[in-house]
Amino acid sequence: MAKTKTFYQCQACGHSTPRWMGKCPDCGQWNTLVEEKEPRGGSRKLNAGPGAVPQPLSSVREQETERTSTLIGEFDRVLGGGIVTGSVVLIGGDPGIGKSTLLLQAMAKLEGPVLYVSGEESPEQIKLRADRMGLTSDSIMLMPETSLESVLLAASDMQPSALVLDSIQTMRTEELDSAPGSVGQVRDCAAKAMFYAKSSGVPAFIIGHVTKDGAIAGPRVLEHIVDTVLYFEGDRGHSYRILRTVKNRFGPTNEIGVFEMSDQGLRGIENPSEMFLSERPEGVAGSVVIASIEGTRPVLVELQALVSQTGFGVPRRTSIGMDHQRVSLLVAVLEKLGGMQLSGMDIFTNVVGGLKLVEPALDMGVILALTSSLREKPIPPDLIAFGEVGLSGEIRAVSQAETRLKEAAKIGFKRAIIPKNNAERVPAIKGIEVIGVSNISEALEAAGL
Ligand code: TYD
Ligand code: MG
C-alpha cells in the first residue's frame, strides 16, 4: 500500500513538524505531538459533487432505527434497546474487567457471521474461554489480526452481521508510522472503522482499555468519534460489573447495566437493588440506604461512612464511588450548621457494590451516614432517604421522587426521608410512610439521630 505523507501536529497549539519530538518547539508542552495524515491532493474541496440538499425541518420524516436484540437484557438496556444498524459502540474499562467476555457472549447469540478481530488473544485462547462459558456458536469468525486494512478487506468479503475490534490499542493502520496504541493510530483506526460501519450498515464494537497514564492513548480520544460509549465501572476485586452509557446517539445516557461475573461469564442482574442490598449489615452505625436514579431506572444502594478520631497527623478523607469535593462540602455543612466537630476526624465514605454515584440526591444519605457514624447510632433498617443538601443546610427537591419511592416500597422499605417539596407533591404510595424535611436538623431528627 502506498504510504501517505504524514506529519506531526501538536494537540495543544496546532504547531506542525515533519518529525516527532518529545516537546513542542512552539508552545513547549511535552508529549503533545501526534502523527497526522496530509490531506490527499493538497487542498480539500468540501463535498464537491452531489452533496446533501437542504430541506425544511418540518418535512424531515422520522426514521425508525433498526435494532437487533443481543438477547442479553442488561446489554440491550445500555445500548438503548439493542444494536443499531451501522452504529459504532466503544466499550471501555480497565484491563481484565470483562469487555472481551461480554462481547463474546453477546456476539455468540447473534445471527452470524460475526467478524471478531483479536489483536490480544490467540484463537485458541478465545476458544478455551468460549468452551468454559459453554458457548456453542457457529456464528463467530475469529481473526487474529492487527492491520486495520486487512480487517476491512476481510469484512468487505464476508459482509458480517457485526464487527468487533478487540482492542483498538492493538490495531494499526498502514498509513501511519507510529506504534499501535498511539493517539494518531487509535483515532485513525476508529475513524476508518466508523466509515466502514456507516457505509456498510454493519454495526461495529470497539474495545478500548482505559489506561491510567497518558503514554498510551485511552478510549477518551474516541468518545467524540463513535455513536455510543459504554464504560465498565466497579473493580476486579468485586464480582459485580456495572456497564454505564456515557454517550449514546440512539438512546438515553447514564443508563446502567448490572452484571455479575461468574464461572460462565457475565450474568445480567435484573433487580440491582436487591443485589446491592444483599449484604447490608443491620443495626450498624454509619450505614444508610438511598434511592438513586441511574438513567431510567431507580436503584437502591447502601452508603457507608466511617468517622473516627485521627490517630496521628493530618486527618484522612477518602470517598469511594462519590465525588470527593461533594463530601467535603457536606462535611463543612454538618460542622457549621449541625454543630458537629469533624475537623480532627478521619472520614471515609463508600458506595457499596462499586457503583459510582453522581446525583445530588445522595447528599441526604451522606449527611445521615456521617452523623450516624459520628454519634454511633444506627439508622433504622427499614428507612431510605434521598435529597439534595444546600450550603445553608436546606434540603432541596430532586427529580423522580415517585419512581424512587415505588422502588423502595417494592423492596420492602417502610419509611422514607425526602425533601419537603417532593413530599408535598407525590401521591401516597402503599406500604411506605413519607417524611418530608426542609433542613438537615429535621432530617437528622426524622432518622432518630
Ligand atoms: P476479560 O473479558 O478478558 O477482560 P477484558 O477484555 O476487559 O480485559 O475478563 C477477564 C477476567 O474475567 C479474568 O480475570 C477472568 C474473568 N472471567 C471469569 O471470572 N469468568 C469467566 O467465565 C470468564 C470468561 C472470565
Ligand atoms: Mg480482552
C-alpha 139: how far from chain center: 28
261 lines ligand 1 (CB under 6 A): yes
- Whether 416 has a pLDDT exceeding 50, the answer reads yes
Task: Find the 95 Cα to ligand 1 centroid distance in Å.
Answer: 9
130 lines ligand 1 (CB under 6 A): no
Secondary element (H or E) of residue 273: helix 272-277
- Whether 1 has a pLDDT exceeding 60, the answer reads no
Look at residues 321, 328, 318, 338 and name the one whose alpha carbon lies nearest to residue 395.
338
- pTM value is 0.85
Ligand 1 atom with the smallest distance to the CA of 99 is 7
* Amino acid in the structure at residue 57: L
Task: Find the 140 Cα to ligand 1 centroid distance in Å.
Answer: 18
Mutate to test the pocket of ligand 1, among 165, 167, 261, 264 (most ligand atoms within 8 A of CB): 261
- Whether 216 has a pLDDT exceeding 60, the answer reads no
Task: Find the 92 Cα to ligand 1 centroid distance in Å.
Answer: 14
99 lines ligand 1 (CB under 6 A): yes
Q: What is the pLDDT of residue 37?
A: 81
- Whether 2 has a pLDDT exceeding 60, the answer reads no
419-442 pLDDT tens trace = 999 999 999 999 999 999 999 999
Q: Band of the pLDDT at 16, cuts 50, 70, 90?
A: confident
Look at residues 232, 235, 213, 247 and name the one whose alpha carbon lies nearest to residue 87.
247
- The shares of helix, strand and coil residues in the chain, as percent rounded to the nearest 5, are 30, 30, 45
Q: What is the pLDDT of residue 136?
A: 81
Ligand 1 atom with the smallest distance to the CA of 93 is 7
Q: Measuring from atom 1 of ligand 1, which residue has the nearest CA?
A: 98
Quick one: three-class SS letters along 398-425?
CCCHHHHHHHHHHHCCCEEEEEHHHHCC
Place of cell 441526604: 364
The answer to whether 251 touches 79, Cβ cutoff 8 Å, is yes
Residues 6+ apart with CB under 8 A from 277: 289, 300, 301, 302, 411
225-246 pLDDT tens trace = 999 999 998 767 778 899 999 9
Q: Phi, psi (5° rounding) for residue 400?
A: 55, 45
Mutate to test the pocket of ligand 1, among 101, 133, 206 (most ligand atoms within 8 A of CB): 101
- Whether 21 has a pLDDT exceeding 70, the answer reads yes
Look at residues 162, 180, 179 and name the one whose alpha carbon lies nearest to residue 171.
180
414 lines ligand 1 (CB under 6 A): no
Q: Measuring from atom 5 of ligand 1, which residue has the nearest CA?
A: 96
